[in-house]
Amino acid sequence: MSNLEGKYSPKDIEEKWYKTWEENGYFHTEPKEGQPKYTVVIPPPNVTGVLHIGHVLNNSIQDTLIRWKRMQGFNTLWMPGTDHAGIATQNKVERKLAEEGKTREDIGREKFIEEVWDWKEKHGGIITKQLRRLGASLDWDRERFTMDDKLADSVKEIFVKLYKDEMIYQGEYIVNWCPRCGTALSDDEVEHEDLGSFLWEIKYPIKDSDEFIVVATTRPETMFGDTGIAVNPNDERYKHLIGKKVILPIVNREIPIIADDYVDLEFGTGIVKMTPAHDPNDFKIGLKHNLEFINVLNENGTMNENATSEYEGMDRFEAREKVLADLKDRKLFVGEKKINHSVGHCYRCNTVIEPRVSKQWFVKMGPLAERAIEVVKNGKVKILPEKWEKVYYNWLDNIRDWCISRQIWWGHRIPAYYCESCGEMVVSKEAPHSCPKCGGEKFRQETDVLDTWFSSWLWPFSTLGWPENTEELKYYYPTDTLVTGADILFFWVARMIMAGLYVMDEIPFENVFLHGIVRDEQGRKMSKSLGNSPDPIEVINKHGADALRFSMLYNTSQGQDVFYSEKLIEMGSNFANKIWNVSKFVLMNLEGFSPADLDVDNLEFELADNWILSKLNQTILEVNRHLEKFALNDAAKEIYEFLWRDFCDWYVEIAKERLYKAQTNNEKETAQFVSWYVLEQGLRLLHPFMPFITEEIWQTLPGTGETIMLSDYPEANPEMISITVDKNFDFIQRVIRAIRNIRTEMNISLGKKLTGIFKSSDGEEEVTLEQNKKYLIKLANLDETLISCEIEKPEMASVAVVDNTEIFIPLDGVIDLEEEKEKLKKEILKFEKELDRVTKKLSNEKFLGKAPADIVEKEKNKEKEFIEKLDKLKKSLEEIL
């Protein structure tokens, strides 16, 4: 046993203990037959990433669950790894090349991939180092990267399997295109934002007529790709036009007028231009009505040759302004209306995306979605909070095929090979030796790579060795819990469920715990652009990882967003200091104490001892119950209230008397044992939430073992929970609080000793007071107590009532009665004036009619506060009159 030195300094202990844990292999695990397992796979952070406050919350939740289960005796595996983040990582390296005056095309694909790997080796490990600072007990021996050879093999394996099962196909379809990244994006990679814009109205002349129709559009620059005009067949205004043709302005190309129920009679002019190559809805109608598909945009967002030579090469938004100007010159511009509409942006670079027809690879999602819906409906996979189930079903019920090809270089290259002799395509894990059609031996591989999410949807089983049937795969799969944000429910969670069922014929995890978003004090989502996101490493340097972890967990209700502030972290920091200081006190008073030599049966337990042991076991029961339900904030609150309020504020204060002034050795030893036992159990309870400080303190306690993280997590002993003990001690606590309130109300200093007179009409309360009056003397600072059922109220006494007991505190000689009377009268007069002012305001009809609701509510709260204050002041005055 050794004492804790000085003030609590997280810097001095955190790095030391993490290094010890990792070097001793405490995080590592191997399959063990007969031992229950608990598996969690980390949502792989981008290899380009750095720790942000959302990561802190996510990984603190995971680590708490893993440490809890490890201490419960489970064979726990928390699988670490990072994602290659195709678009984001490629952008990083392209920017680096741009600083050197180069492009990826300048150096070629092979050299560019080498540059990316080099960048990854130099900068890709930042976030894993930062996770160590947070205390994440990941099995680093099993760390994975989505571009590792083994994971690359799993990607090829499932691609080939899906292709052979006719679940993957190629086709010319409308996709979301990012001109900045130069690649297609899936629907889930497009973030929509409401923007102010205009609805421009344009005249389209009707062929062989002086008439024209008016078309409304938000994207006039795409009109070069118009191949039809659509009206609703039930629109009486335009029925006579169906089948006729109009002349496309500027281009002077004839295009037909068609009828389709898709057209909204109420929107715009009720006439819609059809641009099938640049709008998803127009694409469907174009197929239905056999319209021509004309692409007018280059991959970089500039206009191509189909926009005529006058516009070719122009940026799309520059072309928009020129189109509008040219229409005005030709007297074909009608007007504009301000609107707000949803505009899609690339989730990586925030560039406005362009719907664009191109040849891409797709996965058929319908058949996969059916089973993914079924396993949530039958409860095999539980989504928490349950409110997200409806969102999950809605997305899967309306799912579209997944565009999995990306026109970038960094990523898993699609395993499709084209014969250079005849063009035959062969899909296989490796390049074929000969063409099955012509026998040719030269092939070129598909240049597109797979969507980043295509490798991460295999994460729960690819990280365990699939497609090989490894011991890890057999033992740890399916995993148990997935912890992630609701924002990737579709990107990742639903797809992992589909892949697990398709490949393994088994769910990938049993529980999906979706936590909320971390926001600033104004409710804004943390973002680099707003500059409102703290650097977690700076917070750890200042307050410690334990304080950051505990504060985030304590303040995040299940499924609710958490509002971050510096003050919020100070709460966790103050708690850590409290635990440190009470531990120092307990240790300083354990001289001569040895748990191994103790005979517990000979100890003499008082009410306070039995109460704190009862509260400890109730807390253990509740904490485990909350953790089972993923209510980590409630579990944290139970531990906080027990250790700070019950143990520090009450039990330790009571135990001091026996530790300092015990009449017998047995009396002191009892206080030592209970203090030691409750602290040791409390540290174990707290360890999953605050791993560093609990390890440091636990190691100094007598009778402990190798490491707290491998000790048993506390289990409640029902026999130690006593309703009677709780009731009796609660009564004593309320009596003490009542006396303390009298001190506050009468302005009596805490150091002034008082006489306490107790008149009870309840025999049990009287016995409880008599047997535990030393607690009253100690914690209420009394020099004398009189307890009887026959005592009369003394003159000049302050009174309080607790249950069936009246408490009298004589004031004669304690305070200057005349001075106190005058002081109370002045206070009463002051608050009567304040109350009168507020009452008049609230009875004023003009004020009630004009003032905002929050102002009125504020005045009502003031009125209530003044009434309550006056009642207390008048009661105090009555007691001394």
Q: Which long-range contacts (CB under 8 A, 24 or more apart) does 559-562 make?
A: 559/384, 559/385, 559/387, 559/388, 559/486, 559/514, 559/515, 559/516, 560/516, 561/516, 561/517, 561/518, 561/519, 562/57, 562/516, 562/517, 562/518, 562/519
Q: What is the DSSP letter of 148?
A: S
The dihedral through the CA atoms of 667, 670, 676, 679 has a sign that is negative
720: left (phi over 0), alpha (psi -120 to 50) or beta: alpha
Percent of the chain as helix, strand, coil, to the nearest 5: 50, 20, 35
d(CA 863, CA 866): 5
CB 259 within 8 Å of CB 237: no
d(CA 304, CA 314): 8
CA-based radius of gyration for the chain: 36
Helices 607-628 and 665-686 meet at what angle, rounded to 10?
A: 10
Q: How far is C-alpha 566 from the geometric centre of its chain's CA atoms? A: 18
Write out the H or E segment, with its range, that includes residue 676: helix 665-686
d(CA 362, CA 359): 10
Q: What is the DSSP letter of 821?
A: H
Provide the residue type at 35 as one letter.
Q
Q: What are phi and psi of 161, to 5 degrees?
A: -60, -45
Pairing status of strand 168-178 against strand 354-363: antiparallel
Residue 321: CB atoms within 10 A of its CB come to 13
Tokens of 843: 């009875």
Provide the residue type at 877 as one letter.
L
**528 appears as a binding residue in the annotation:** yes
The dihedral through the CA atoms of 436, 439, 441, 447 has a sign that is negative
Binding site as annotated, residues:
528
Binding site as annotated, residues for ATP:
528
